[in-house]
Structure 1
Amino acid sequence: MRVHLCAVGRLRAGPEKALVDDYVTRFDRTGRALGLGPLTLHEVEDRKGGGMEAEADLLARAVPSGALICVLDERGRTFSSPEFATQLGHWRDGGRQDVAFLIGGADGLAPALRDRADAALSFGRMVWPHMLVRAMLTEQLYRAASILAGSPYHRV
């Protein structure tokens, strides 16, 4: 199952980009044998200042046809890491070819795009900077692949 991270804004050189790049590499290496990956980043920017609606349109265009859409949203479901790994495995085992995780910009995701999603994931009730969410999500994807592979990376 191919994994797509579709996000508003571009990561510039810095600690968040270094973390994202590292975890994408780790996920691809670990996930390959499990039928997970590659993990592809799709970055979109609304250069015309159209707000959440314009960002939602750009994000929707970045999602592969037929992909399961999971939005990152504070109102979404919170998972433990093993639960998230199990969910990812269910999506894969259910025959999904693609899953797309959507991260909005500074103002979040347009309600219409949120409503259209198949799933919503939350990293808690706190609001996180959207660039940091990318690092957190890529780490959790790598952790999920490690859990599914039986690797000791995730310790209970």
Structure 2
Amino acid sequence: MHIIARGKIGRSPEAELVERYGRRVTWGFKVTELPDKGGTIPPITATPTRIVTMDERGKQLTSSEFARILGRWRDDGVREARFLIGAADGHDEALRDKADLLLAFGAATWPHMLARAMLAEQLWRATSIIAGHPYHREG
């Protein structure tokens, strides 16, 4: 699980949440920060890799649906799942077109710091669901 996000999160309550949930993800977890503009996404070194672009026009999945997708990718031998969080102006069309999944956390636009914390929590929740942990309950 590799979150690649535009913008610096610094020392903040959101950064603490990302670290807390990241430590709980048992599949491996990494965060790469890029400047708001410029910088390059690290080259893909593990294959196969899946790319998830966080985008307000993306699919809105339940936690269980998200877990099923990640579980299927794992079972198919995916070595890395990359989750791209854009800057304030989002992602360009070319990056959205390359994505294996466009994912939204609802119709609202979220600040990158909160989106990063929410994504880290959902990654932990998804891996917990797959592992059969009783933490998650859908109502």
Structure 1 position 38 matched with structure 2 position 28: yes
CA contact (8 A) 1:6 1:63 kept: no
> For residues 97-125 of structure 1, what are the alpha-carbon distances to aligned partners after superposition, in whole Å with 9 as ceiling and x for unaligned?
11100000111111111111111111111
Q: By how many angstroms is 1:63 displaced? A: 4.8
2: CA distance, partners of 1:85 / 1:101: 14
Structure 2, unpaired ranges of 5+ = none
Structure 1 position 20 matched with structure 2 position 10: no
2: CA distance, partners of 1:149 / 1:118: 24
Q: 1:64 aligns to what? A: 44
Residue 7 of structure 1 aligns with an amino acid whose one-letter code is: A
2: CA distance, partners of 1:106 / 1:93: 34
Structure 1, unpaired ranges of 5+ = 32-36
Greater helix fraction, Structure 1 or Structure 2? 1
Residue 5 of structure 2 aligns with an amino acid whose one-letter code is: A
CA contact (8 A) 1:69 1:102 kept: yes
1: CA distance, partners of 2:113 / 2:92: 18
TM-score (norm 1): 0.82
TM-score (norm 2): 0.91
Q: 1:118 aligns to what? A: 100
Structure 1 position 129 matched with structure 2 position 111: yes
2: CA distance, partners of 1:72 / 1:125: 12
1: CA distance, partners of 2:55 / 2:82: 14
3-state SS of 1:62 partner: coil
1: CA distance, partners of 2:68 / 2:93: 27
**RMSD over aligned Cα, in angstroms?**
1.4
2: CA distance, partners of 1:69 / 1:145: 17
Aligned residue among 96, 99, 105 for 2:87: 105
Q: Percent identity?
A: 47
Dislocated runs of 4+, deviation >3 Å: none
Taking the TM superposition and a 5 Å limit, the aligned residue runs for 1:50-89 are: 51=37, 54=38, 58=40, 61-65=41-45, 66=47, 67-89=49-71
Q: By how many angstroms is 1:139 displaced? A: 0.2
1: CA distance, partners of 2:59 / 2:87: 20
